[in-house]
């Protein structure tokens, strides 16, 4: 069958859109699927169809039933001076967004931080968690199960690590409710974000447990105590991915000249907005102004899993007035990122990672992603510093009129 005949069959419903992959080479299948959809809907999709994506690379790795690609503007902020353990020096950071004023905002924050000597940044925890849920017959069995797990830690580690060369089982955190037990497995995952790695290793552990401790039945490899793609106290307290802290001290001259404000004014906005306002709103995880803006824009540009913006953007902004200067820090308890795997292998996303010098695996493994995490936290710091400044001097509406609607103030 040629491509026209296949399109016709898909339009008539004689083959499903995803079955086109069985008849054509990958890229021809992507085109045929779009042409069929255009005919079914009576619309044309030339922009989605005009893509540099190679479906033979994406298929069985990143997406199914593909009809083309979506383009999102990517802008650049920086140079941003980062004084980390892995990221040292001045960095340009790509942000993909459709929110006018966001890039300008973060860029001004970068300017202020760089002029002030940079952002100091530390990673204080590193571990990707997967938590299967087990059903036991009764609470005697729960206690025996926990003792058995403790006795068999070495064997469990061996089973897990037989599935991966980079994944290392660091720790098992047990949680109990009645006859239910969650085992929260925490892995080091090299430069990968690690969710596939941790899931595959956890499934192997579950099979081993079920065959050896037969009273335990694994109900689901993910029991939501992980917690993936959901806000949760467990991530906030224990950390998931990387827990990162970035801080800087901004002298009053820079506050005045670059940010048109004062330490007192920023501190008051932080206290009454980020801390009190978030508490009054019943927010438990996001005592910040807009971590999500920076996290989402970097995730989108660099091929991270967008659904993990949920927990990766949780965290706290802390400020202190020191003389006339401002101390400001951001704490991100669960930043889930990778420089290998997932969407990081796509061509535009890989280029975006290369702007920061973090594309691919590091030497030693894990060093590249830690450098990336430090750059992200420093950029979040720039975003917070600038938005708090803009709010303190009533710039927000004016900026968004100009850069979001194209209207001169």
Ligand X SMILES: CC(C)(COP(=O)([O-])OP(=O)([O-])OC[C@H]1O[C@@H](n2cnc3c(N)ncnc32)[C@H](O)[C@@H]1OP(=O)([O-])[O-])[C@@H](O)C(=O)NCCC(=O)NCCSC(=O)C[C@@](C)(O)CC(=O)[O-]
Catalytic positions, please?
A: 99, 305, 400
Judged by beta carbon distances under 5 to 8 A according to partner kind, the member of ligand NDP, ligand X, none in contact with residue 341 is ligand NDP
Closer residue to ligand NDP, CB minimum distance, 150 or 354: 354
- Shortest CB 398 distance to ligand X, Å: 7
Closer residue to ligand NDP, CB minimum distance, 228 or 247: 228
| Angle formed at CA 398 by CA 282 and CA 390, multiple of 5 degrees | 55
Binding flag, residue 164, ligand NDP (CB under 6 A): yes
Tell me the two tokens of residue 223. 């029991």
Site residues (CB under 6 A) for ligand NDP, limited to 340-359: 340-342
Closer residue to ligand X, CB minimum distance, 99 or 161: 99
234/398 Cα distance (integer angstroms): 39
Judged by beta carbon distances under 5 to 8 A according to partner kind, the member of ligand X, ligand NDP, none in contact with residue 35 is none
Which of 160, 210, 218 has its CA nearest to residue 185? Answer: 160
Site size toward ligand NDP (CB under 6 A) is: 22
Closer residue to ligand X, CB minimum distance, 239 or 251: 251
- The SS3 assignment for 327 reads strand
67/29 Cα distance (integer angstroms): 9
- Shortest CB 369 distance to ligand NDP, Å: 8
Peptide bond preceding 79: is omega within 30 degrees of 0, i.e. cis?
yes
- Please report how the helices 139-151 and 153-161 are oriented relative to each other, as an axis angle in degrees rounded to 10: 70
Query: What are residue 395's phi and psi, to 5 degrees?
Result: -95, -10
Which of 85, 216, 245, 194 has its CA nearest to residue 148? Answer: 216
Q: Provide the residue count of the chain.
A: 409
Tell me the two tokens of residue 102. 């966001």
Check residue 42 and give left, alpha or beta (phi > 0: left; psi -120 to 50: alpha): left
Applying CB under 6 A, among 68, 94, 167, 223 the residue interacting with ligand NDP is: 167
Closer residue to ligand NDP, CB minimum distance, 61 or 256: 61
Site residues (CB under 6 A) for ligand NDP, limited to 171-210: 189-197, 199
Binding mask 355-394 for ligand NDP (x = CB under 6 A): ------x---x-----------------------------
- Shortest CB 100 distance to ligand NDP, Å: 29
- The SS3 assignment for 314 reads coil
DSSP string covering 49-61: H-----HHHHTTT
Binding residues for ligand X, rule: CB under 6 A, are 99, 101-105, 107-108, 111, 289-290, 293, 386-387, 390, 395-396, 399, 403
Judged by beta carbon distances under 5 to 8 A according to partner kind, the member of ligand NDP, ligand X, none in contact with residue 261 is none
382/317 Cα distance (integer angstroms): 11
Binding flag, residue 126, ligand NDP (CB under 6 A): no
Distance of CA 266 to the CA centre of its chain: 27
Query: What are residue 148's phi and psi, to 5 degrees?
Result: -65, -40
Binding mask 261-300 for ligand NDP (x = CB under 6 A): ----------------------------------------
Judged by beta carbon distances under 5 to 8 A according to partner kind, the member of ligand X, ligand NDP, none in contact with residue 167 is ligand NDP
Give residues in contact with ligand NDP (CB under 6 A). 164-167, 189-197, 199, 228, 305, 338, 340-342, 361, 365
């Amino acid at each position: 069958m040629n491509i026209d005949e296949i399109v016709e069959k898909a339009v008539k419903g004689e083959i499903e859109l995803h079955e086109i992959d069985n008849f054509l080479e990958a890229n021809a299948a992507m085109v045929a699927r779009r042409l069929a959809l255009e005919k079914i809907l009576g619309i044309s999709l030339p922009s989605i169809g005009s893509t540099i994506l190679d479906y033979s690379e994406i298929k069985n790795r990143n997406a199914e039933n593909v009809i083309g690609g979506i383009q999102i503007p990517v802008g650049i902020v920086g140079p941003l001076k980062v004084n980390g353990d892995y990221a040292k020096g001045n960095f340009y950071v790509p942000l993909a967004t459709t929110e006018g004023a966001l890039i300008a905002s973060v860029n001004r924050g970068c300017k202020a931080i760089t002029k002030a000597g940079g952002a100091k940044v530390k990673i204080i925890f590193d571990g990707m968690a997967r938590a299967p849920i087990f059903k036991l017959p009764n609470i005697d069995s729960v206690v025996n199960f926990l003792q058995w797990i403790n006795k068999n830690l070495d064997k469990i580690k061996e089973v897990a690590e037989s599935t991966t060369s980079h994944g290392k089982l660091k720790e098992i955190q047990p949680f109990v409710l009645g006859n239910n037990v969650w085992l929260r497995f925490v892995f080091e995952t090299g430069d990968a974000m690690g969710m596939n790695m941790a899931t595959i290793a956890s499934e192997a552990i579950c099979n081993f447990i079920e065959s050896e401790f037969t009273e335990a039945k694994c109900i689901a490899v993910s029991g939501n105590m992980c917690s993936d793609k959901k806000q949760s106290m467990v991530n906030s307290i224990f950390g998931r991915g990387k827990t990162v802290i970035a801080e800087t001290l901004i002298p009053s001259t820079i506050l005045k000249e670059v940010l048109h404000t004062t330490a007192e004014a920023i501190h008051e906005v932080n206290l009454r907005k980020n801390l009190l306002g978030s508490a009054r709103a019943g927010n438990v995880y996001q005592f910040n102004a807009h971590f999500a803006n920076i996290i989402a824009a970097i995730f989108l540009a660099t091929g991270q899993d967008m659904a993990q913006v949920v927990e990766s953007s949780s965290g706290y902004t802390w400020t202190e007035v020191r003389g006339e200067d401002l101390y400001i820090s951001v704490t991100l308890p669960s930043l889930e990122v990778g420089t290998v795997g997932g969407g990081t292998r796509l061509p535009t996303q890989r280029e975006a990672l290369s702007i920061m010098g973090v594309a691919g695996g590091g030497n030693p493994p894990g060093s590249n992603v830690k450098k990336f995490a430090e750059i992200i936290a420093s950029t979040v710091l720039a975003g917070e510093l600038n938005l708090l400044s803009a709010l303190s001097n009533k710039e927000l509406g004016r900026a968004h009129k100009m850069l979001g609607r194209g209207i001169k103030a």
